[in-house]
Amino acid sequence: MKLLNRSIQSYLLYAIGIFIISVPLFYFVIRQIISNDVDRALRLQKTELIKRIERISDRDPFAILDAFGPDIIFNRLKEYRFYDSLYTIQKISPATQYPVSYRILESNVLIRGLPYKIVVQNSLVNSQDLIKSIVFIMALLLVLIIAGLLLINQRLSKKLWYPFNNTLTQLQQFRVDNPEAIRLMETDIDEFANLNNAIGTLSENNRRLFVLQKEFTENASHEMQTPLAVLQGKLELLMQTAPISEEQAALINDLSDAARRMSRLNKTLLLLTRLDNNQFAEKEEVSLREIVEKILAQFSDAIAARQLQVSAVYTDPAYCTMNKALAEVLVSNLLGNAIRHNIPSGILSVYLDQDKLTIKNSGKPTPLDPEKIYTRFYKSSTDSHSIGLGLEIVQKICRMNGFTVHYGFADDLHCFSVHLKPGISSFSAG
Amino acid sequence: MKILVIEDEAELRKSIVDYLGSERYLCETAADYQSARERLDSFDYDCILLDLGLPDGNGLNILQELKENKKTEGVIIISARNAIDDRITGLNLGADDYLSKPFHLSELGARIAAIIRRRKFDGNNIIQLNELAIDPAAKTVTVHHKPVDLTRKEYDLLVYLVSNKNRVISKNAIAEHLTMDDADVFDNFDFIYAHIKNLKKKLSRAGCTDYIKSVYGMGYKFDI
């Protein structure tokens, strides 16, 4: 749930609560006020009446009183007993034929020493209309206030949260290997400014650390090249010495193998750091078909040594705009893997069309773990010639060029496919 | 044949000199930019091995100066920086070849031999070793003036062995030379044995002495 909605929810609940309580409360309070008002008016009317009747003196006052209409009734009583009562009843109004509430004051009074019962009534129609109007207006106002609050909140929130959302978008796009620092928008809201500050520092530190680490790897690999060259050179010189025993020769041979593996590893690490550093900027139109054919020819010895059955189908020259050296590394790593991990007299099939390059090979009868194959130094075999960096390089090159690479296992064949136009392809990125 | 080795790493410099010295090359050395310039000002060399990362200056500047003096022929760049930019800049500035560290001394020997052949004899010299003759321009081999039909790999192998004659060449060096750095695809280097076997068979059938010797499974040697 969005933070925005959560805060609105609380406001809304509160407003509805107030609304539910306040409307009936208002109704009763106003009714009470008006009722008190009417009561006071009735009593005043009674007092005035009695005064006036006493002033009329000689004539029969009640003949005149009939003229007051149905709202005032005088009845002669036999004896006086104190009685004073106010109540409300429903009566059919003679004017409208509808039941209407009346407020009635019944009171026993003495006029010139004679007991009378006086009834004064007042229709509450007007008061009720007033109450209804007031409550209605009040309800309307409340609804307006709530709606207004919601609207303002929504609009204000969007505006208020804009710097936050902006920061979030930047963060989502942030990559530690970006050459440029993250750029967050200026905001005059303290909380967001603090957040941006913190994020800015954090990302910049990360980026710097990454650059430092990258430089370290690159420098370390470079510095390693010279001692490796010394080691390899000395070994070659050692080979020239005489006499040399068979035992010594075997030792030198093993050392030379180790030195070679170390230098391969180092070169591969260098390639990785250079991929990270984007040092392969120059691109050209390359035909993958030409590259695949070239690499297959280069590997012909290895293919022959394992007596692999090679089938290559090209339906397209498959032109791509990319760095030629990287295209060769890509194809050579994939084909190299397919050959190295193959079984004697196994299958190697290459299929290339304008959208994808698929390389299938026989090998171990169990599928590889697709989660792990692209991680550094993950090895599916104990083969000492495999360094465990090849597929990471493949993936890096693919990512740089907007390709996607997929691994599958079917019919006892390992299958790597590189989708050259993943946007158009029906495959989704794995 | 005079060679100048410009390399700041003493041990590597020594290895190169030792290896090349056993051939008929006369090696001089320079450990830094300044002494390299002094030597180049005073002497002429048939081949210059140039390390790009010198402590007191970039080797590319030396190359630049050589180019201005039109003396770039015979420069082999040896660099720890395998960066393609350096390679391209170096070759654009007129360097003949580029070797990235670490390299096999035998590979260096082969490259120097190729450069000197190209430079001294415009590539038209015939490498004559008793009855065996190799024509690098036509890429043909004759024994007793009769052509021997070799595959490209066998020819490359023979030239490589001959360029480092009388020295043991490790199997690793041969594998990397023949596969152009893709030697990793192989579990073992049996394919070298196969090529050597075929080469020896073809040469001996043509009446050539068996010069190619295996050295305890460590490598091979063209012994003459």
Q: For residue range A132-142, list pLDDT tens digits in order.
A: 888 888 888 88
Mutate to test the interface with B, among A224, A235, A239 (most CBs of B within 10 A): A239
Rounded to the nearest angstrom, the minimum Cα separation between B145 and chain A is 31
Chain A residues whose CB is inside 8 A of the B80 CB are: 222-223, 225-226, 229
Task: State the average pLDDT over residues A30-46.
Answer: 86
The pLDDT value recorded for residue A24 is 83
Are A336 and B153 a contacting pair at CB < 8 A? no
Q: Which CATH superfamily is domain B2-120 in?
A: Response regulator (3.40.50.2300)
**Pick from B182, B170, B175: nearest CA to B214:** B170
**Chain A to chain B, count of Cβ pairs less than 8 Å apart?**
130
How high is the ipTM of this complex? Answer: 0.88
Contact B207, B143 (CB under 8 A): yes
Contacts for A214-221: CB closer than 8 Å, 24+ residues apart:
A214/A177, A214/A273, A214/A276, A214/A277, A217/A269, A217/A272, A217/A273, A218/A270, A218/A273, A218/A274, A218/A277, A221/A266, A221/A269, A221/A270, A221/A273
The pLDDT value recorded for residue A34 is 84
Residue B131 CB-density burial (10 A; 0-12 exposed, 13-18 middle, 19+ buried)? middle
- Distance (Å, rounded) from C-alpha A293 to C-alpha A190? 62
Mutate to test the interface with A, among B170, B179, B189 (most CBs of A within 10 A): B170
pLDDT tens for A109-118 read: 887 778 888 8
Q: Which residues of B155-188 are buried (b: 16+ CB within 10 A; e: fewer)?
A: bbbbbbbbbbbebbbbbbbbbbbbbeebbbbbee
In chain B, which residue's Cα lies nearest the Cα of A326? B84
Q: What is the mean pLDDT of chain B?
A: 86
pLDDT tens for B107-118 read: 999 999 888 888
Are B187 and A383 a contacting pair at CB < 8 A? yes
Least confident of A270-279, A377-386, B7-16, B148-157: A377-386
The pLDDT value recorded for residue A426 is 45
Bridge partners, residue A348, by sequence: A310, A361
In chain B, which residue's Cα lies nearest the Cα of A298? B179
Q: Which residues of B72-96 are buried (b: 16+ CB within 10 A; e: fewer)?
A: bbbbbbbbbbbbeebbebbeebebb
Task: Please give the torsion angle defined by the CA atoms of residues A221, A226, A230 and A236, in that order, rounded to the nearest 10 degrees.
Answer: 70
Are B170 and A236 a contacting pair at CB < 8 A? yes
pLDDT tens for A130-182 read: 778 888 888 888 888 888 888 887 888 788 888 888 888 888 888 877 777 78
The pLDDT value recorded for residue A12 is 82
Rounded to the nearest angstrom, the minimum Cα separation between B70 and chain A is 29
Contact B5, B27 (CB under 8 A): yes
Least confident of A83-87, A197-201, A351-355, B78-82: B78-82
Are A383 and B180 a contacting pair at CB < 8 A? no
Are B84 and A259 a contacting pair at CB < 8 A? no
**Pick from A277, A268, A280, A420: nearest CA to A352:** A420
Chain A residues whose CB is inside 8 A of the B179 CB are: 298, 301-302
Residues 6+ apart with CB under 8 A from B66: B40, B48, B72, B75, B94
Distances from the Cα of B188 to the Cα of A247, A279, B156, B204, angstroms: 20, 33, 20, 26
Calculate the CA B60 to chain-centre distance.
21
Q: Is the pLDDT of residue A382 over 60?
A: no
Query: Architecture of B126-222 per CATH?
Result: Orthogonal Bundle (1.10)
Task: State the average pLDDT over residues A6-20.
Answer: 82
* H, E, C per residue of B106-128: HHHHHHHHHHHHHHHHCCCCCEE
- Distance (Å, rounded) from C-alpha A354 to C-alpha A315? 7
Which of A239, A336, A385 lies nearest to residue B168, judging by beta carbons?
A: A239
Query: Three-state SS for B215?
Result: strand
Contact B166, B155 (CB under 8 A): no
The pLDDT value recorded for residue B74 is 86
Chain A residues whose CB is inside 8 A of the B217 CB are: 249-250, 253
In chain B, which residue's Cα lies nearest the Cα of A302? B186
- What is the torsional sign of CA B118, B119, B122, B126? negative
Strand segments, DSSP code E, in B104-207 are 127-129, 132-135, 140-143, 146-148, 168-170
Rounded to the nearest angstrom, the minimum Cα separation between B188 and chain A is 9
Chain A residues whose CB is inside 8 A of the B216 CB are: 244, 246, 249-250, 253
Residue with the bigger pLDDT between A269 and A345: it is A345
Which of B168, B173, B184 lies nearest to residue A240, judging by beta carbons?
A: B168
DSSP B81-99: ---HHHHHHHHHTT-SEEE
What are the boundaries of each domain within chain B? 2-120, 126-222
- Distance (Å, rounded) from C-alpha A280 to C-alpha A330? 13
Task: State the average pLDDT over residues B136-146.
Answer: 89
Q: Is the pLDDT of residue B182 over 70?
A: no
Which of A233, A240, A332 lies nearest to residue B12, judging by beta carbons?
A: A233
pLDDT tens for A228-284 read: 999 999 999 999 988 889 899 999 989 988 988 888 888 888 888 888 777 777 888
Ramachandran region, residue B105 (left: φ > 0; alpha: ψ -120 to 50; beta: rest): alpha
| Residue that is written with structure tokens 């007042």 in the block | A122
Q: Is the pLDDT of residue A427 over 50?
A: no
In chain A, which residue's Cα lies nearest the Cα of B179? A298
Contact A314, A289 (CB under 8 A): yes
**Pick from B116, B161, B134: nearest CA to B1:** B116
Q: What is the mean pLDDT of chain A?
A: 83
Share of chain A above pLDDT 70, in %: 92
Contact A363, A343 (CB under 8 A): yes
Tokens of A159: 């505006």
Per-range mean pLDDT, top range of A30-34, A358-362, B172-176: A358-362
Q: Is the pLDDT of residue A98 over 60?
A: yes
Distances from the Cα of A184 to the Cα of A189, A199, A204, angstroms: 13, 9, 12
Angle at A149 between CA A143 and CA A150, to 5 degrees: 90
In chain A, which residue's Cα lies nearest the Cα of B218? A253
Q: Is the pLDDT of residue A387 over 70?
A: no
Centre a 10 Å sphere on the Cβ of residue B65 and count the other Cβ atoms it contains: 16
The pLDDT value recorded for residue A423 is 63
Q: Could you tell me the pLDDT band of residue A430, with boundaries at 50, 70 and 90?
A: very low
- Distance (Å, rounded) from C-alpha A312 to C-alpha A292? 9
- Distance (Å, rounded) from C-alpha A372 to C-alpha B162? 46
Rounded to the nearest angstrom, the minimum Cα separation between A183 and chain B is 31
The pLDDT value recorded for residue A425 is 45
- Distance (Å, rounded) from C-alpha A68 to C-alpha B146? 155
Residues in B lying within 8 Å of A, measured between beta carbons: 9, 11-12, 15-16, 18-19, 22, 80-85, 100-106, 153, 167-168, 170-173, 176, 178-180, 182-187, 190-191, 215-219
Query: Three-state SS for A412?
Result: coil
The pLDDT value recorded for residue A172 is 87
Are B101 and A257 a contacting pair at CB < 8 A? no
Contact B50, B95 (CB under 8 A): yes
Residue with the bigger pLDDT between B160 and A74: it is B160
Q: Is the pLDDT of residue A322 over 60?
A: yes
- Distance (Å, rounded) from C-alpha A24 to C-alpha A33? 14
**Quick one: DSSP state of residue B184?**
G
> Which domains are present in chain A?
3-145 (3.30.450), 190-276 (1.10.287), 284-419 (3.30.565.10)
Chain A residues whose CB is inside 8 A of the B84 CB are: 279-280, 325
Q: Is the pLDDT of residue A69 over 80?
A: no
Are A232 and B102 a contacting pair at CB < 8 A? yes
